[in-house]
Structure 1
């Protein structure tokens, strides 16, 4: 089996993927490499003839309020239908231009703008309506960013645009052999040669699953390097043997350039994915029709929202 996790960004220079291959004695993990063309990357992994599980640090799903009343039966059909519709992904500069057919906002900082106003413009009630259940704060971690919000450090909208518009929507429309978890079923049941199973993996969630406490900030090389022993311990618990280049990268804090945090996240996400593949974490999805059809879930997350 092949497991991989890609940390995503609008900037291709900050898209990094970590890959591991499972053999009879465990996993062999390589150092992170640039994603490049995502379609070609997945095709190259599938060409090895083994089942492929690919974690992605980007939203796979939309809030239930946004999905209400749509003609499509679920998120995958909705995403497939976005191929060739660039207007959907054009970020609205003002609230008057926000609509169900142009939901991403804001294009730039505007005085007085709020998530609550954004939610109202989309007919989603208060700011909470922008978030999927898996985006909301739990007893174990703070809230993630709403899917359609595109401003500031705590946002995931731009990553969603880059992946959905440029890769996933056209790929699904063209019949690419992708199965999106949890919409298509359970993770283990979907794994098969010739198919890539894509799942949303949240590195901040995976850190907790791996028992890694990061002091300081992942944006600081010294703080990433200080977590090296905890990362190695998480690898050992998952029977992951790092290649020499990966071992050195962990020890050295993944480099001094701006992409160091992205390489770090790609490895943490990989360890979280492997934990679910090998049964250290459950393939849990709440028994909720909106989650299973439209909102999706974060792989390995078991904690429900506080509210």
Structure 2
């Protein structure tokens, strides 16, 4: 029976995009477990997607196993709102591995890599995250110099740079301020990715290990970096004010429902209720909102409504990675 199904799926592979996909997910990640949320969409035998409401991520070290189990023998794609990749110049000088997936695996034996440096004297290529707290006179230029990089622009990846439609993202190793991504990356890499890789599960990292079509095979979980601020534009969300305001999230609900209708995605009753409620009045409402925007952004690519396209750049495919669905090129040049 298994062999016959496999042959049938192989034949379908040549006709239908992502024929093995049964589950899509998006996680809005944080170093604070109370602000880690995940939303799932299931695909039925007719190829129709149904999206559900966000829920707490739960134990980070079992996320991958739970998603693989939920895919029930199919493939799953997880969009993750954390950096997946390294700045190219840092990687060229200090990574000591063949590529980013290989580098990640080395971190299992290097726990001090994740210890945030309290002072510039503590910063090194083996301890790159900084600062543990705000201090007078600290600058990203000094941080870059402590890592042996010529200027602060080298702290970012190509996909972090400003585009015509969104501001720049925070550099990976910076851990201070509301826009920083470093603490979430530490938590996701150490608590979720490393345990999943250590278990030897079928974890695949996009785009380092291939295209979505190449990676989304039965039993696999494909991880792809997302950026909710990028997804907003892809799915037609225009915020009237800060996403931290429930009123702004309520106003954006019509765009979410319209996108789902146009894309042919069924909004489950619990998700419809969450959208109608502005994702709640508590502080995690903005995280639940971003979680759903990210899920719709992932589905937008899986449904062929937006290309997964990434620049033809060897350093990007080896080290830096890319944001799923981002087609806009950076406005500024990046150091070679």
Which runs of 5 or more structure 1 residues have no equivalent in the other structure? none
Q: Secondary structure at the match of 1:5?
A: strand
Q: Secondary structure at the match of 1:83?
A: helix
Q: Alpha-carbon deviation of 1:124?
A: 1.5
Greater share of helix: 2
Q: Residue 60 of structure 2 contacts residue 191 of structure 2 at CA under 8 Å; is this kept in 1?
A: no
| Residues 1:98 and 2:120 are matched in the alignment | no
User: After the TM superposition, which of the residue ranges 124-133 and 171-180 deviates more from structure 2?
Assistant: 171-180
Q: Residue 188 of structure 1 contacts residue 277 of structure 1 at CA under 8 Å; is this kept in 2?
A: no
| Residues 1:60 and 2:84 are matched in the alignment | yes
* Aligned-residue CA RMSD (Å): 1.1
Q: Alpha-carbon deviation of 1:170?
A: 3.2
Q: Secondary structure at the match of 2:79?
A: strand
**TM-score normalised to the size of structure 1?**
0.97
Q: Alpha-carbon deviation of 1:240?
A: 1.3
Q: Residue 238 of structure 1 contacts residue 271 of structure 1 at CA under 8 Å; is this kept in 2?
A: no
Of 33, 36, 61, which aligns to 2:55? 33
4+ residue stretches of structure 1 with deviation over 4 A? Answer: none
Of 11, 22, 32, which aligns to 2:43? 22
Inter-partner Cα distance in structure 2 for 1:186 and 1:101:
30
Which residue matches 2:287?
262
Which residue matches 2:105?
80
**TM-score normalised to the size of structure 2?**
0.89
User: After the TM superposition, which of the residue ranges 144-153 and 120-129 deviates more from structure 2?
Assistant: 120-129
Of 140, 145, 155, which aligns to 1:115? 140
| Residues 1:289 and 2:314 are matched in the alignment | yes
| Residues 1:150 and 2:175 are matched in the alignment | yes
Q: Which has the larger radius of gyration?
A: 2
Q: Residue 63 of structure 1 contacts residue 130 of structure 1 at CA under 8 Å; is this kept in 2?
A: yes
Which residue matches 2:202?
177
Cα deviation per residue 1:40-72 (whole Å; 9 max; x = unaligned)?
233233222221000000000010011013431
Q: Residue 117 of structure 2 contacts residue 132 of structure 2 at CA under 8 Å; is this kept in 1?
A: yes
Q: Residue 46 of structure 1 contacts residue 193 of structure 1 at CA under 8 Å; is this kept in 2?
A: no
Inter-partner Cα distance in structure 1 for 2:84 and 2:269:
33
